[in-house]
Amino acid sequence: MATSLTAAQLESIAQNPYKQDFPLLRDNPSLAFLDSAATAQRPNIVLDAQRRFYETMNANPLRGLYRLSVDATQAIANARAHIARFIGARDHNGEPQGDAVVFTRNASEALNLLAHTLPQVVELGPGDNVVISIMEHHSNLIPWQQVCAATGANLVYLRLDDDFSITQKEIEAKIGPATKIVSVTHVSNVLGVQNDIAAIAARAHAMGALCIVDGAQSVPHVHVDVRELGCDFLAFSAHKLGGPLGIGVLWGKPDLLDAMPPFLTGGEMIDSVTETGAVWSPAPQKFEAGTQDAAGSFATDACLGYLECLGMDAIEQRERLLATYLCERLQEKDYVTIVGSGDPNRHIGAVSFDVTGIHPHDVASILDMSGVCIRAGHHCAQPLLTYLGWHSTCRASVAFYNDKDDIDRLADGLDQVWGIFNGSR
C-alpha cells in the first residue's frame, strides 16, 4: 500500500482521542462514519448543553422580565458573540459583531433570507446578473434561480477548469458591471475543493456587487475569517460543526443588515405595531420572527468552545492527513475513479468517487453491511454532476473524529463490493 504519509503521520491518524467525546461513535465501535459532510456527529458537551439549557434557564427569550427569561436572552447573546469571534467578525474596535449574527434554521434558510431580501436592497432587475458557481449546493442555487425568474435578472455560472478550479480569468469574465450579487460556496460539498473567495469578493466589490459565501462545508474544517475573505455575508449551519440540528447562522455586514427588509414577520421582530403598520426591531431580531431555538443557540456556543479547545489548526491538520490517506487508499484501487482533483491536498473533508460499473447506491448499501456510512447520489448538486458528466457518485467525507481504521474499513468494504459484482468473493 503506497502512501505519502510518514510513519509518524500514520500513527497520529491511527490514534483517536476524540471518539470518546462522541457518544454515538463511542457506543458503536463497529461504525465507520464517513458522512460528516452531510451532518457531523455531536460531542457530549453539545448534548449536555442542550439539556442544561432546559434544566436551568428554560424560558421564552427576549420577552420575559424575570430572571429565567433574562438568562435565556443572555445565552443567545453570548452565542452570537461567540460565533462572531469564531468567524473573525469584529468591529473597528475589535469587538465581536454579535448583533450581525442572525440565527436561522439552517444554512439553506440563511441563503433564502438573503435571496428574499437583497434584491430589494440592490434593486435587482432585468439586465442585472446574479453570479453563482457551478459547484453550488442546491441551497445556494435554487433560491437564486427563483430570484432571477421573479426579477428578470440573469443567473450566471462561474465554471471550473480541468483542474476543478475557478480561475481568475473566469472570475473576471463572469463578474462584471452588470453583476449585482455574487453568491459562492467556500468549499464544494462534492469535490472538496476550496474556492479563492478573497479573489471573488475583491472582483465583486470592484464591480459594485455584493459577495455572499456559503460556508457550510468550510467553517467546520478550516479557519474562516470573514475579514480575510472580504465577503459581505457568510452562511453556515451548526449541525455540520457538531452542533445541534436546526440552527443555521447568517453573518452580514451591519450596514447591509440594517438596509435589508425583514424576511419572516411576526412576534419578536418588531419595536411597535399599530393597526396599519409596524416598526421593525434592529438586526438581528428583525430577521428572527417567532420564538427562537435558544437551547440550540446555547448548544452551538458550547460546540464552538469544544472546537476551540481542540484548536481549529489541529483539526485542520488532522483532517488533511485523513483526507490524504482516504484519497490514497482510493487511488490504489484500479476500479475506483476519484471524481475531482487527484491531489489529496485539494480535498477539504470530502472525496467523491465512482466504482466502475457499480451504481453508487449499491456501493453504499453494501458498505452499510459492514457499518461503513458513505453518501451516494447527486449530493444536492445536480448541475455540478451534470456539468462533470456524472449522474451520481459515492462520497466519503472525514472529520477529526475519524481515524485510519475508518478509512481502512472503507477500503476493505470496497473490495467486497467489487467482489460481489465481479464474482470473486
Partner 1 sequence: MEVASLYNEQFMDHVTHPDYKYELEDATHEHDGINPSCGDELHLAVRLGDDGRIEETAYTGHGCAVSMASADMMSDLMVGKTPEEAIALCSLFKDMVTGAEKDMDKLEEELDEAALLKDVSHMPARVKCAELAWRTLAEMLKDGSI
- Using CB under 8 A as the criterion, which residues of the chain lie in contact with partner 1 when the complex forms? 358-362, 365-366, 368-369, 377-378, 391-392, 420-421, 423
The DSSP secondary-structure symbol of 262 reads: P
Peptide bond into 284 cis (omega under 30): yes
Q: What's the closest the beta carbon of residue 220 comes to partner 1, in angstroms?
A: 25
Distance CA(298)–CA(220), nearest Å, equals 18
Distance CA(72)–CA(76), nearest Å, equals 7
Q: What's the closest the beta carbon of residue 373 comes to partner 1, in angstroms?
A: 12
Strand order across the 210-214 sheet = 101-104, 248-252, 233-237, 210-214, 179-185, 129-133, 154-158
Query: Nearer Cβ to partner 1, position 221 or 375?
Result: 375
Query: Nearer Cβ to partner 1, position 182 or 366?
Result: 366
Buried b or exposed e, range 311-323, using 16+ CB within 10 angstroms = ebeebeebbbbbb
Query: Nearer Cβ to partner 1, position 211 or 358?
Result: 358
Distance CA(253)–CA(231), nearest Å, equals 9
Q: What's the closest the beta carbon of residue 395 comes to partner 1, in angstroms?
A: 15
Distance CA(94)–CA(88), nearest Å, equals 9
Distance CA(89)–CA(253), nearest Å, equals 9
Query: Nearer Cβ to partner 1, position 72 or 336?
Result: 336
| 398: its cell numbers | 472525514
Q: What's the closest the beta carbon of residue 33 comes to partner 1, in angstroms?
A: 16
Is 380 assigned a catalytic role?
Answer: yes
Q: What's the closest the beta carbon of residue 367 comes to partner 1, in angstroms?
A: 9
First to last CA, the chain: 21
Query: Nearer Cβ to partner 1, position 268 or 362?
Result: 362
Catalytic residue among 148, 211, 303, 380: 380
409: amino acid identity, one letter: R
Catalytic residues: 380
